[in-house]
Amino acid sequence: MQLRFLATSPNLQGRGLSTALLENAETRLLHRGIASIWANARDAALTFYLERGWVALPDSEHVSLETQLPHTVIVKQLHR
């Protein structure tokens, strides 16, 4: 399952909202039987995802056609 459009407004960052939203999405997907999720992470937010158990795919760096910003493909295996 791909997750898209995960950006948080800069004036709301650092309050734990993104973490709570991401954890809620992962829990809901796991309960739906989804075992693996992936996303195109903006490179500026890559550390955020890596710190939460996501893994960057080697050689997956690219510039998004939609945003023209650098992104990396990330994946996460969901576990009960």
Going along the chain from its start, the domains and CATH numbers come out as: 14-77 (3.40.630.30)
CB 62 within 8 A of CB 71: yes
Instruction: Kindly tell me the burial class for residue 38, based on how many C-beta atoms sit within 10 Å of its own C-beta (0-12, 13-18, 19 or more).
Output: middle
Tens digit of each residue's pLDDT (9 = 90 or more) over 41-72: 999 999 999 999 999 999 999 999 989 999 99
The mean of the pLDDT values for the chain is: 94
pLDDT for 76: 98
Tens digit of each residue's pLDDT (9 = 90 or more) over 17-31: 999 999 999 999 999
